[in-house]
Amino acid sequence: MHMSLLLMEQILELFLMILMGFIIVKAGIVTDEDSKVLSKIVLYLIIPCVIINAFQVNYTPETVHGLLIAFIASVMLQILLLIIVSFMGKPFCLNEVEIASIYYSNSGNLIVPIVTFILGQEWVLYGCVFMSVQLVFIWTHCKKIISREASYDWRKIVLNINMISIALGAILFFAQIHLPEILNNTLSSVGDMIGPASMIVAGMLFAGMDLKKIFGNKRVYIISSLRMIVIPLIALALIKLSRLAALSSDAPKIMLIVFLAVITPSASTVTQMCQVYGNDAKYASAINVVTTLCAIVTMPLMVLLFTYIK
């Protein structure tokens, strides 16, 4: 129960950041279109800093074993959930923005502050494993459907700054190379902006919408229910059936972190990609805001279920 209350407090803080983005647009300080610049900064600067910094931890057999557990769980969930969401497409008549919003969680922006707040900085690395695995899917599957490209451009995928950051972070970790303190502190400081910057973007976009139209759209609630209730329950069942939490003394916490990454609201990266590639960014942002509101209740409840179901 204590963990659920801490989680609720953290989500409320993030929602207040959305409100800040909303206010600065409504006050005429900036426009909702200005959020495009901030979106690119998040995608191409802040997220890479988070990834590289997360891998700057001491190499120990326990850490490597924990990383392996987190990696197996993350890959398993991403593949199985993608198959499940794909099957949902036809009966629910889902378009590409809805598919991406249901499937992709906001782990990239929320898992670092949430895990730090609840478990401590030393556990963030395992959250970044899920985030790194999801980034591979984001820059392949998500980019393809959002940009409506006919095929994958593997050269662009491999040379994407986020993919390079994952490879660089892993190389530094396994080679036991620690960056100079001043560089590490800089990466950490920039990475700390991920939650606030992403939430402010969502709020700025939200301010440019017709609120009656958004909250009167039944589709937003259907998509939000699938993202915040159906997907977390499926993920919970998959995690418990996998028995990965029994592999080590740290495994229960590692699996909780992976579960937290899955049950976050829809990815604000979907909104940012819609902006960059000319898809429906306002609809994606509406889903992001509604799922963030839902998360205040659903995430603590899902964590309670996780801890009670053995």
What's the predicted TM-score (pTM) here? 0.81
Q: Say how far apart CA 21 and CA 208 lie, in whole Å.
A: 11
Q: What average pLDDT score do residues 264-268 get?
A: 88
pLDDT 10s digits, 55-114: 888 888 888 899 999 999 999 999 999 999 999 988 999 999 999 999 999 887 677 777
Domains located in the chain, CATH noted:
2-308 (1.20.1530.20)
The residue behind tokens 């400081």 is 189
Give the mean pLDDT of 17-23.
90
Residue 249 has pLDDT above 80, yes or no: yes
Angle, CA of 183, 189 and 190, to the nearest 5°: 90
- pLDDT interval class at 310 (50, 70, 90): low
Other C-beta atoms closer than 10 Å to the C-beta of 3 total: 16
For residue 274, the one-letter residue type is C
What is the chain's Cα-based Rg?
18
